[in-house]
């Protein structure tokens, strides 16, 4: 039964909302443009908020909903909702429906964190907004926010399991942001507000 929950969470995470939205709007594969990610940030740069906002909402909910249900279904088995959260993020980053090439995991992680630990999530959200406001780099805000979550959890509540989840998810997000990290170091990273206009790279 628990294995079914984990598997179902992975497949729910695999729902490629950004791919679908861009395909409907342009008739093209979003993975051929911009950062080549199916996430909301790439959709925003390519198509604007009208397309990006629904993608963001779906990507958040496809983690928040299964995690919330898992907490209700397994109130005494903490590892199940933690596993559900991890599987949802894995599905988002590596969707079987798209040849394991999907988004970067940030919005899906946000959805799970909002349910699992609201206060650390809000602190991470504050880091995200603050870094973007100061630098206009969404990638940098995403990475620092993802890193802040396990640190805040560990020192704030001493919840080793949740901190380990946050650290694992940060690792996934860092891997998916490898290109962004390289561009940040080279001073070539795109800033928030810069449209890509369907140019690859």
* Per-residue pLDDT, 200: 46
Q: What is the mean pLDDT of the chain?
A: 92
Q: Could you tell me if residue 48 is inside a domain?
A: yes
Residue 196 lies in a domain: no
pTM of the shown model:
0.91
Determine, yes or no, domain membership for 191. no
Is it the case that residue 38 has pLDDT exceeding 80?
yes
pLDDT at 194 over 70: no
DSSP 3-state of 27: coil
* Residue 77 belongs to some domain of the structure: yes
- Total of domains in the chain: 1
Q: By C-alpha distance, which of 113, 128, 36 is closest to 67?
A: 113
Tell me the pLDDT band of 36, cut-offs 50, 70 and 90: confident
Residue 32 maps to a domain: yes
Residue 180 lies in a domain: yes
Task: Give the 3-state secondary structure of residue 29.
Answer: coil
Would 116 be classed as within a structural domain?
yes
Q: Which domain holds residue 50?
A: 2-186
Q: For residue 199, is it within any domain? A: no
Phi, psi of 34 (to 5 degrees): 60, -130
Calpha distance 164→42 (Å, rounded): 28
């Amino acid at each position: 039964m628990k294995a079914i929950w984990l598997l179902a969470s992975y497949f729910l995470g695999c729902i490629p909302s950004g791919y679908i939205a861009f395909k409907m709007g342009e008739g093209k594969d979003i993975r051929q443009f911009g950062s080549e990610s199916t996430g909301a940030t790439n959709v925003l740069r390519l198509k604007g908020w009208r397309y990006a906002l629904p993608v963001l909402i779906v990507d958040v909910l496809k983690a928040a909903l299964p995690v919330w249900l898992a907490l209700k279904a397994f109130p005494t088995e903490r590892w199940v909702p933690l596993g559900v959260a991890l599987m949802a993020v894995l599905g988002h980053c590596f969707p079987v429906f798209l040849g394991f090439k999907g988004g970067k995991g940030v919005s899906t992680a946000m959805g799970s964190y909002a349910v699992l630990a609201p206060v650390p999530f809000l602190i991470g959200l504050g880091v995200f907004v603050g870094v973007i406001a100061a630098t206009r780099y969404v990638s940098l805000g995403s990475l620092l926010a993802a890193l802040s979550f396990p640190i805040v959890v560990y020192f704030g509540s001493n919840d080793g399991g949740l901190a380990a989840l946050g650290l694992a998810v940060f690792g996934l997000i860092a891997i998916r942001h490898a290109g962004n990290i390289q561009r940040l170091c080279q001073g070539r990273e795109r800033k928030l507000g810069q449209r890509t206009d369907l140019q690859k790279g």
